[in-house]
Amino acid sequence: MRMDIAMNVHVTDKRPLALRMENITKRFRGVVALDQVSFDLQAGEVVALVGENGAGKSTLMKILSGAYQCDGGKIELFGKMLARANPQQILDLGVAVIYQELLLANDLTVAENIYLGRLPKTRSGLIDWNAVHAGARRAIARLGFDIASDAKVGDLSVAHRQIVEIAKAMSRDARIVVLDEPSAVLGDSELQSLFGIIAKLAEEGVSFIYISHRLEEIFAISHRTVVLRDGRCVAIAKTGDLTKDKLVKMMVGREMSSVYPDRQPRIGPPALSVQNLTNPWLKDTSLTVRQGEILGVCGLAGSGRTELLRALCGVDGAKSKSFTCGDLNSMPTSPKQALAHGIGLLPEDRRHQGLFIEQDLAFNIAIAGLGAIRRRGFLSRRAETRMAKAYIDQLRVKTPGPRETIGNLSGGNQQKCVLAKLLNAGCKVLLIDEPTRGVDIGARREIYQLLVDLADRQGLAIIIVSSELPEVIGLCDRTLVMRAGRITGELMRGEMSEERIMHAATD
């Protein structure tokens, strides 16, 4: 359902330079994250920044924003050389970086977030709340969205939080906007609107740096593409001169064969079965997933696909006529109870899913599987490290080692750790919302192989919610299609095609 993204922006003529980053180098305790990276950005230009997980994309942007200082190199912004600048100065110069991990204050309202640190005052020195709310409403309406200015940001969907971030940037008259993987949290129609906004603002002269692992987005929205690999800039090209294959090869440094592994499914008895599941989003939904089966769930954003997964592991208090999963004969009442019975959920919003950001990888991966390592009454650090190391190798997590603080990992690598944690908990039924969101193309293949091994060799039942139809077709034995909280289609492996799935999803 990312098929219809075709919002090509106009190719710009030579325009004044907005930004030049030259020979940027950054080391973290001896590890070289960026090695003499140079690129430039014209006014009104959209540059895509691509590369595998850990290639250095976010680090480069944090140097631009002043969040990190570089160890070497120069930055020229709107014709001025920048010496050491702090984040506030960069912001004042018109650069807004919207990070992968959003930085909004969840307890404040939308309007307060947009005007954070610069609330307008009335003549008597009080905060002018009318102006705050009116300004916030204008900023959001300009983007074509309708979000209440007095809503608490913590209550918004991740997609809407992203829109608030962009509104905040635009209301500060940003002239360069960096979007670090916006599509990881946006639905298809929201992404479409975002592309409309980018194209319009680019025409007005705003420059964009757009980071994404989804190549079709790169082709749809960018004028030029900058490719990073292992901290080096390996190519800068006009996007129109590239093909998908060329781009992948530059990113991973080798030819990639098909990403979907061969399957030898051995489908067994039912692993989880539910009848007439109902909650505010789901209407009498019934399904059975069998041992060794990979079941897809497709549908447009808002069709109830994510709610279905959440309901199966006890979130949102869904009711059902019957529920069976191993020795469990009633709906789990919490994700914790679900996990104790072998049902694990990998949610859409991974960053907020119980990673202890200050702790190391081994701790985080071990936490849900404590039983296994603690068997003899103590938690063996050695066992924990060994286990974590195995997952690091298996999932190709880019990190100095199992004792690295997880908060220092790149976004995609943190996600792989959440998956490792779930695998380590010994689940029998895995519920995975968007298995490869934010994951680079090389690692994507590893994840598919891993899921296929878990199903074909270990007999796990896996339910995948995905908006990437090729992924569903390439991986699943069967797929359900949802619309408005109901299952409206069911297709077996040989019957699946993008057209048929879309058909069941839309009318």
Ligand X SMILES: Nc1ncnc2c1ncn2[C@@H]1O[C@H](COP(=O)(O)OP(=O)(O)OP(=O)(O)O)[C@@H](O)[C@H]1O
- Asked if 337 is part of the footprint of ligand X (rule: CB under 6 A), the reply reads no
- Give the shortest CB-364-to-ligand X separation in angstroms: 15
Residues 32-51 that bind ligand X (CB under 6 A): 33, 51
> Which of the choices ligand X, Mg ion, none does residue 369 contact, using the CB cut-off of 5 to 8 A by kind?
none
Contact letters (x/-) for Mg ion, 21-60, by CB under 5 A? -------------------------------------x--
Residue 105 near residue 129 (C-beta atoms within 8 A): no
Q: Which residue is nearest to ligand X (CB)?
A: 412
Task: State which of residues 408, 449, 489, 500 lies at the interface with ligand X (CB under 6 A).
Answer: 408
Contact letters (x/-) for ligand X, 16-35, by CB under 6 A? ------------x----x--
- Asked if 55 is part of the footprint of ligand X (rule: CB under 6 A), the reply reads yes
- Asked if 355 is part of the footprint of ligand X (rule: CB under 6 A), the reply reads no
Name residues whose C-beta falls within 8 Å of residue 361's C-beta, 6 or more positions apart in sequence: 388, 392, 397, 399, 401, 402, 403, 404, 406, 409, 417
Tell me whether residue 180 or residue 477 sits nearer to Mg ion (CB atom). Answer: 180
- Asked if 402 is part of the footprint of ligand X (rule: CB under 6 A), the reply reads no
Tell me whether residue 291 or residue 436 sits nearer to Mg ion (CB atom). Answer: 436
Element housing 41 (H / E): strand 31-42
Contact letters (x/-) for Mg ion, 449-478, by CB under 5 A? ------------------------------
Long-range contacts of 284-288 (CB under 8 A, 24+ apart): 284/486, 285/482, 285/485, 285/486, 285/487, 286/487, 287/480, 287/487
Long-range contacts of 335-339 (CB under 8 A, 24+ apart): 338/312, 338/313, 338/314, 339/313, 339/368, 339/425, 339/427
> Which of the choices Mg ion, ligand X, none does residue 222 contact, using the CB cut-off of 5 to 8 A by kind?
none
Reduce the secondary structure of 237-302 to three states and give it as a string.
EEHHHCCHHHHHHHHHCCCCCCCCCCCCCCCCCEEEEEEEEEECCEEEEEEEEECCCEEEEECCCC
- Residue 172 burial (CB count, 10 A): 17
Going through 349-485 in order, the beta strands assigned E by DSSP cover 429-433, 461-465, 478-483
- Asked if 411 is part of the footprint of Mg ion (rule: CB under 5 A), the reply reads yes
Task: State which of residues 18, 42, 43, 54 lies at the interface with ligand X (CB under 6 A).
Answer: 54
Tell me whether residue 58 or residue 183 sits nearer to ligand X (CB atom). Answer: 58
- Asked if 364 is part of the footprint of ligand X (rule: CB under 6 A), the reply reads no
- Give the shortest CB-226-to-ligand X separation in angstroms: 12
> Which of the choices Mg ion, ligand X, none does residue 408 contact, using the CB cut-off of 5 to 8 A by kind?
ligand X
Residues of this chain that interact with Mg ion (CB under 5 A) are 58, 410-411
